[in-house]
Amino acid sequence: MKIQTKDFTFYTTSFKDLNLSDNQLLNLRIITENINFKDYLSQTFYVPSYDLEKLKIKEQNAVVSYFLNQHENKKIREFYGALFFALPISKDLRNDVNYYGIAHLIAISGYHIGLIFSLIFFILIPIYSFFQKKYFPYRNLRFDLSILIFILLFSYTYLIGFVPSYVRSLTMAIFGFYLICKNIKVLNFFTLFTSVFICICCYPKLLFSVGFLFSIMGVFYIFLYLHHFSKSFNAFFNVLFLNIWTFFAMTLPVIYFFPLISYQQILSIFLSAIFVIFYPLSLILHFIGIGDLFDFALKEFFDFKFYASNVQIPFWIFISYIGVSLLSIRFKLLALFCIFSNLLPFIIIVI
């Protein structure tokens, strides 16, 4: 069982058939003598337990309940719960997500912050402009709306429980906003690594978070492309190639932790573009109470599967890949080598 407390999360085992639900409140004792400093720092560990008893079912937040109660299918509820509120998903849904290679779309991160920020910004522009022109024309519209949206985004952080990838993204966004206000270049590796260090200083457990690592690596490879190739193409091709680049750059790291590879995962290149429309549209539909509009299509979508294979990536290859990636900041050819090396798992499927 995976159990969440106020201060940490732990795994334990029970030999009793307690028929527990996902939001079951429990009372139990744990044996802490084998918890080491690393476990304490990560705030996620396994401990033996005893005297376990069921309490009442924990009531969900009213906002969460309003969104999720619009869906009857359990898997679809899990999907939207993860998409909007970073709720845990079952092994079955995680397997479906891995087949498509869209874990980065479901895990709330900078991608979602950008979409939420843009959506709220364009909704508030006409309202704020009306009052600004009439009462306070001396105010800066972009600055004022950005401050308001960051306050809303921080409130959202509290609602979803300070998810590591989201915390990193929000910290980086706020830091980037500060640099913009100071007229300092934002899209560089200094911004990324500084925000990472700030996050780790505030939340040391992020050192042991796979989601946090993926979030860092995703932004790193985006910056790597911009660093070496953004001036070689126009805006349209940069958006197209950046999507393809990021997908292949993240293939080896993702397979190391989730060793499933399928040609179906290549579809995530196109699904990432579709997601830009799907995410804000589904968010609006949930607000007006018809969030189940896409449920049938999503069920068919998750049930569709190509042939897949498990590919184990040795640890030394994973570490070497990270090392070469860091060196590729300096050497353009190494950056290309990193991308083309990610084609190997797809070749292995054929062999």
- Tell me the per-residue pLDDT of 146-205, one tens digit each, with 9 for 90 and over: 999 999 999 898 888 777 778 878 888 888 898 888 888 777 888 888 888 888 888 888
Task: Look at residue 223 in the predicted model and tell me its pLDDT.
Answer: 92
Give the single-character DSSP code of 263: G
Q: What is the three-class DSSP state of 262?
A: strand
pLDDT recorded at residue 184:
80
Are 222 and 187 contacting, i.e. CB atoms less than 8 angstroms apart?
no
For the whole prediction, is pTM greater than 0.85?
A: no
Q: How many CB atoms lie within 10 A of CB 291?
A: 22
Tell me the percentage of the chain whose pLDDT exceeds 90: 35
The DSSP result for 90-146, as a single string, is -HHHHHHHHHHT-HHHHS-SHHHHHHHHHHHHHHHHHHHHHHHHHH-TTS-HHHHHH
Confidence of residue 337 (pLDDT cuts 50, 70, 90): very high
Grade residue 323 by pLDDT with cuts at 50, 70 and 90. very high
DSSP state of 293: G
Mean pLDDT of 332-342: 91
Among 90-94, 125-129, 295-299, whose mean pLDDT is lowest?
Answer: 90-94
- 5-44: b (≥16 Cβ within 10 Å) or e: eeeeebebeeeeeeeeeeeeebeeebeeeeeeeebeebbe
Q: What is the mean pLDDT of the chain?
A: 87
In angstroms and rounded to an integer, the radius of gyration of the C-alpha atoms of the chain is 22
Give CA–CA dist 200/301, Å, rounded: 37
Mean of the pLDDT values across residues 49-67?
83
Position 18 pLDDT exceeds 80? no
**Residue 70 pLDDT greater than 90, yes or no:** yes
Per-residue confidence band for 351, with pLDDT thresholds at 50, 70 and 90? low
Whole-number pLDDT of residue 26: 87
pLDDT at residue number 279:
92
Mean pLDDT, rounded, for 238-242: 87
**Which residue's entry shows tokens 């090396």?**
341
The two three-digit tokens of residue 283, written as one number:
């968010």
Confirm if 221 and 243 have CB atoms less than 8 A apart. Answer: no
Q: What is the pLDDT of residue 95?
A: 87
Which pLDDT band, with edges at 50, 70 and 90, does 225 fall under? Answer: very high
Residue 350: its pLDDT value, please?
A: 65
Task: Give the span between the Cα atoms of 147 and 116, in whole angstroms.
Answer: 14
All residues at 6 or more sequence positions from 36 whose CB lies less than 8 Å from its CB, including other chains: none
Query: Strand, helix or coil at 12?
Result: coil
Average pLDDT on 239-244 reads 88
Res 231: pLDDT: 85
Give the separation between CA 80 and CA 83, rounded to whole angstroms.
5
Q: How would residue 125 be classed by pLDDT, with cut points 50, 70 and 90?
A: very high
What ranges in 288-343 are assigned the alpha helix state H?
295-303, 315-327, 332-341
